[in-house]
Structures are given as structure tokens and as C-alpha cells.
Amino acid sequence: MGIFDAMARDGHEQVAFCREEVSGLRAIIAIHNTTIGPALGGCRMWPYEREEEALRDALRLSRGMTEKNTAAGLNYGGAKCVLWGNPATDKDEALFRALGRFIEGFQGRYRTGTDVGTTGQDFVWMSSETKYVVALPEEYGGSGDTARTTAFGVWKGMKACAREVFGSDSLRGLTVAVQGLGKVGSHVVRHLHEEGARLIASDVDPKRLEAISTEIPLRVVDGEEIYGIDCDIFSPNAMGGVLNDRTIPRLRCRIVAGAANNQLEELRHGDLLHERNVLYAPDFIINAGGVIQAADELEGFNRDRAMRKAAAIYDQLLTVFRISRERNIPAVRAAYVLVEERLRVLGALLKVHVPHR
């Protein structure tokens, strides 16, 4: 499929390929939808094997940001930047300053923050070239790491799922299989441990597993074993596409709820979970805590306000589950009902011309 065909399929507005020779920058910025405001979405750094993979990630993730921002009630559209490189070896000041100059060129049409493979320090470098960055460290005037807020929202979302499936939102005594103990997953397991959940975990990094297991009692399993674990909740907190034809038949849980983006390899996999009586918390709703914090920073950051907005993920998911029951449709399709309705209503409203003052 050609690039324009791929953009047309999912309704993308713009894709920019950014290259700078001295720094070695190779990045793709995909802007999906700016119907209700400028695009907001993080910058991911990953060692893609081929440029087609980088483009596919940018397109999928940017569409997901439109869904996430819209469902969260934010006045921002969706976009994503993918930076092609190894975050362990390829980072330096020149790389992020070069990327910052490209982002400045959008003149506020796109604002970005941290994502997989990037940190607040990277964005300190970037902020030398553009003001359109969020999630800077607190000592640089930003709101700090968004992982804690994302994990808080995921925990609240799990409680909503438990209420829907088990009749109580308590997670005490439930078994949760957590895939990925990175920036967000490590905080998710802390919330679960504090509430008294039984924990099983996997991660690609043995050192990360060892570090967390010395702090929190959990059973460690290998990467493939996690899918077949007998548990109440399966929580994907690593990369996307983990819910697919191969893994879904292996799941032995009642709920899937985690922080990873694009957990469904295809939309039909949400249907498959529904058919198997597994409640799926749509990822773009349950993991919205980070972008909620980032959007609040753009308005003048107030942590209490941001946390209250993230806590509302609980009620948002209950609304999704109600629509799912009433219409007898999978939860992910019920979530799209909310997104499409808000885009439709605000898109019509914003056609009313307001003269510039």
C-alpha cells in the first residue's frame, strides 16, 4: 500500500519525513486529525528494522492519539513522532535539537512529549529549539514524568473493569499478570501491590525484573508464558499488537487492561475478545493519564487537577461498558462511538467562524 493510500485509509492529514545529516536524524511525524485542536502526541525512539515499520508505527500511533485525546475530553487532535534509532546508543544533544527545529517548523500545529525510548532530558535538549514540548522535568518548568499519571489511570481503569466483571472494584486478592515493567508498568505493579493483588510479571529485561522483585513480591515468568497464565486480569504494558490470533486463544483471564498502545493487532481482535467473554479496556481510554498530564501542562500545570482528570478514566470506562451492554457490541467499538460522536459534534461547532481579535 502506498503512503497516500495508507493515509486515506485511516484519515491522516499529514506525514512529514525529517532528515538532518550532521546529527543523523531520521524521524517521521504523522498528524492524524486536528478537527478539535492542534495535534498532541509523544515522540517514540525505536531501532526499527525497516523504514516501512517506522511509518506503520507513526500512522497507527497517531491515529491512536486522536482517539485518546478525544475520548479523554481534551481539546487536542492526534499525532505522533517516531525517531528511528537505538535509544541506548544513538542519543545526543544534536539529534534532539535537530528534531526540535523540525517541530518548531510546525508552529504549534504539533506539540510533543516523551514516549517509549525518550526521556525528559531529551526534551530539555529539544526545548532549546522549540517551545512546543511538554513533560519537561520539573526543574525545567515542566510537569515531570508522565508515567506515574499514566499508571494511576490504568489502576483506576482496572478497578472499573473489576466492578463491571466481578461486581466490586476492589483488586484485593485478584491475580494480575503484568507484561512489561518499564516506565509505566513498574508503577502499575506498585499500585496493585498496595491494594493487595497477587502479581505475576514478565519483561524483556531481566535486570528490571530483578530490581522490581526485590521491592515487590511477584512471580516471574518468561515472555511467552505470560499469555497462558491463569489469572483474573492480563495487563499489557509493553509494545503494541500483543492481542492477536496467536495470543488471544491462549488467554486465561476475564479482563485485559493495560498501558500499552495499540494492543489489538487489528480491530477484529477486540471482537474476538468479546466473543470469548473477556472484557477489554480500550487502550486509548485506560492509558490516557500521560496525555492528560501533558495537556494540563499546556494550560498551566496543576497536579491535583491533572490527577482528578486521570481518575475520571474510571467513570469513562463505565460509560463505555454501559454502551457495550446496551448495544451488544464489543467494548472497543463502544469506545469508538464516544470518539466519533465528540468529533462530529465539535467538528460541526468549530465551523462557526470567530473573527480574530
Q: What is the pLDDT along the chain (357 residues), one digit of tens a residue?
A: 789 999 999 999 999 999 999 999 999 999 999 999 999 999 999 999 999 999 999 999 999 999 999 999 999 999 999 999 999 999 999 999 999 999 999 999 999 998 889 999 999 999 999 999 998 999 998 898 889 999 999 999 999 999 999 999 999 999 999 999 998 999 999 999 999 999 999 999 989 999 999 999 999 998 889 999 999 999 999 988 899 999 999 999 999 999 998 899 999 999 999 999 999 999 999 999 999 999 999 888 999 999 999 999 999 999 999 999 999 999 999 999 999 999 999 988 877 766 665
CATH 3.40.50.720 in the chain is located at 147-288+299-305+313-341
CA dihedral defined by 175, 181, 184, 186, rounded to 10 degrees? Answer: 70
Q: What is the pLDDT of residue 223?
A: 84
Residues β-bridged to residue 179: 202, 236
Q: What is the pLDDT of residue 239?
A: 82
205: nearest Cα among 225, 229, 223, 227? 223
At residue 168's C-alpha, the angle toward residues 276 and 192, to 5°, is: 85
Looking up cell 514524568 gives: 145
Contact by Cβ (8 Å): 342, 78: no
Active site residue 80: yes
Side-chain-facing half-sphere of 1: CA atoms under 13 Å = 13
Model confidence, pTM: 0.90
Q: What is the pLDDT of residue 200?
A: 97
Question: For 81, phi and psi rounded to 5 degrees?
Answer: -115, 130
CA dist 230 and 213 (Å) reads 20
CATH 3.40.50.10860 in the chain is located at 3-66+75-140
Domain spanning 3-66+75-140: which superfamily? Leucine Dehydrogenase, chain A, domain 1 (3.40.50.10860)
Q: What is the pLDDT of residue 145?
A: 86
Q: What is the pLDDT of residue 354?
A: 66
Q: What is the pLDDT of residue 216?
A: 94
**What single DSSP character describes residue 184?**
T
User: According to the CATH classification, is domain 147-288+299-305+313-341 in 3.40.50.720?
Assistant: yes
Enumerate residues 6+ apart whose C-beta is below 8 A from 312: none
